[in-house]
Structure 1
Amino acid sequence: MTIQWFPGHMAKARREITEKLRYVDMVFELVDARLPLSSRNPMMDDIVQQKPRLILLNKADLADPRETDKWKHYFEEKGHAALVINSHEGKGIKQIVPKCKEVLKEKRERQQAKGMKPQAIRAMVIGIPNVGKSTLMNRLVKKNIAKTGNKPGVTKGQQWLKAGNDLELLDTPGILWPKFENQAIGKKLALTGAIKDNLLHLDDLAIYGLEFFGTHYPKDIKNRYNFTDEEMELTPVDQLVLITKKRGFRDDYDRASAMFIQEVRAGMVGRYTLDRYNEMREDFND
């Protein structure tokens, strides 16, 4: 499967984010817990540079908790604060402000030593499409969106969102998107819904998903589609044909593929992590 989708405007997006960084104390980098590395912009470290960062592994309810724990420790070993959250249900959200205060402890202590009163922490949320950025922001501000005062960002058409007394978020509608040339990353993003379905062949994506689950989560795929031991030995292509028949779709493989993909995305097949920590060790270059 070849996914050819290289969106432009990277330079413009990078410039906008860089300009906005001056207004915030730290950055919330939102990633999909099912693919913590593949859902990161490869230019993120270069863009954010030394600005304090909190990496939020979102959609943890859909991910393999064993893998999520490994990735959380990975980011922490790289010197980043990290939290595992589920913004849809609000799990882990209450940990964000305390973690921010922990990250900015030295800076805030210096400010207090100079006689400055503690101010609300100002943060910017960055994340690729479909990682839950809007849901997280709505959770944090409790949908009570309001400008919070005379801040530099407001004059540039940006909006500060008040999230309680301790946190203010800089609303940034422009979202950076990874320019990926690695087809494996493209498949992972596609399976989780980060890429529009009309940009690829659904049967190819379904076959990729069946192969992945058959390798890493065979019990889940067996239970979900009532596969026998013999059927588990079939190729992913033959399994897709079998699912099509089992669901009464006759020869409509596209319909069966779409159904399978949606069930994977919804967590109906089981919790899964596409970025396998042990398998990606050799790719770590940062």
Structure 2
Amino acid sequence: MAGAEKPTEVSRWKMFEGYNRRYNHFSPTLGCSMTFSIFFPPSSSPSPTHKFPVLYWLSGLTCTDENFIAKSGAQRMASAKGIALVAPDTSPRGLNIEGEADSWDFGVGAGFYLNAMNEKWKNWRMYDYVVNELPKILDENFEQLDTSRASISGHSMGGHGALTIYLKNPEKYKSVSAFAPVANPINCPWGQKAFSNYLGSSKSDWEEYDATCLIKKFNNTISTPILIDQGDDDKFLKDQLLPRNFEEACKSVNAPLILRMQPGYDHSYFFIATFIDDHIAHHAQALKG
């Protein structure tokens, strides 16, 4: 990261007395130009040293950094609670790797928040980007943010990313939540397609990016319950998401989980917008310290 370029602001919009700001930068980790969005809440403190805690949001398949910012309505509660929202993109872009755009559930827009082991997909290192590079960029360029007080959340593929990143780095995040996460990817078509291409054939490598496998290593390091909302009318629930597998794994090791099955809700941002305030409040409580 030495000598990484300063991110360039490409747009801004005022919202709930704060600002949505979008940035572009070159990512040494991914080897391409990347964008990310930040919602900065209004400063309610007269102290110039006041810093906002950070909630990272990881989006799902086909999304960019803009989906959450434009559709979730999370800014209202984030503004009230004084939490900055940070939304990265979902994969490298512009590398023109053969096959990267052949399907919507693999390649561009489908980074799965892992570090690829297949040489062809060596730039697909969204895990390192989210866990290491992006926080460093925030630390070095946005003095109003306090990345030592951070939580993480996400939707679908991004819910998978939030859960696995949190479980692999509980010391870095105060709390985790997810909407309709891909909770057991080694046992669903999306995960099997992505993992076999990005990681190869070794199931032990796959398990390192599967929340249901990772939670079984639980050693009482989680102080705040994991919050998951799942719509029971989600067309991906039965074949792709498998939240009950994660729930059973949590029960087996007494890991704290709040799994809320929401009647009649689907996989869309209408669902997310309905319950996002609960998630912001959940993280605000954990970020108080």
Between structures 1 and 2, the one with greater strand share: 2
TM superposition score normalised by structure 1: 0.30
TM superposition score normalised by structure 2: 0.30
Between structures 1 and 2, the one with greater helix share: 1
**Which structure: larger Rg?**
1
